[in-house]
Amino acid sequence: MVRIRVDADGSVSGCEVVGPSGSDALDEHTCFLMKQRMRYEPAKSAAGQPVTSTITHRVIWKGTGRPDGLALLKPVWVELELIVAPDGSTRSCNVLRFETLTGEAPDVACPWAVQDMKFPAIEGKNDRKVRYRNSVEISEMPAAR
């Protein structure tokens, strides 16, 4: 599990492992990838201005123990709309887009988001709408020479 700092521009400026995987190298690489690749729609203040926030993500690495483990990775696109309460809990979730090449059902996306996505508490009494997007894209690389 990692806690990441999201700046007002949506970029990740910090990452802290709060639930180690058991592998220091994997934990370091997780934070490296979060900082390099993740972009968020920033949290907003009560006045509607982008603000810095902290988000906790559960990261699960699965491998087959074989060198071709990357071949098992499948392209996916997930887009959710979440309603987040002032205390940071997720009140509701709606799947806006869920695409895979294998036709997997989107029924796991919202239960995962409601249970595992944690947001920082915010000032005020109003809920906030969060649009969460996540994708895995796979591209062929030229053969090594």
Angle at 49 (CA atoms; ends 46, 50), nearest 5 degrees: 115
Boundary (domain end) residue, out of 42, 61, 80: 61
Boundary (domain end) residue, out of 45, 61, 77: 61
Is the pTM for the entire model greater than 0.85? no
Boundary (domain end) residue, out of 61, 92, 107: 61
- Tell me, what's the pLDDT at 102? 64
- Tell me, what's the pLDDT at 64? 52
Indicate whether 69 and 101 sit together in one domain: yes
In 9-85, which ranges are E strands?
A: 12-17, 43-44, 50-51, 53-57, 76-84
Taking the alpha carbons at both ends of the chain, their separation in whole angstroms is 38
- The residue type at 21: S
Average pLDDT over residues 54-67: 70
Q: Residue 44 sits in which domain range?
A: 1-61
Does the pLDDT of residue 108 top 90, yes or no?
Answer: no
In 18-138, which ranges are E strands?
A: 43-44, 50-51, 53-57, 76-84, 90-100, 128-136
Mean pLDDT of the residues in the chain: 80
Average pLDDT over residues 73-77: 69
Average pLDDT over residues 47-74: 71
Indicate whether 57 and 70 sit together in one domain: no
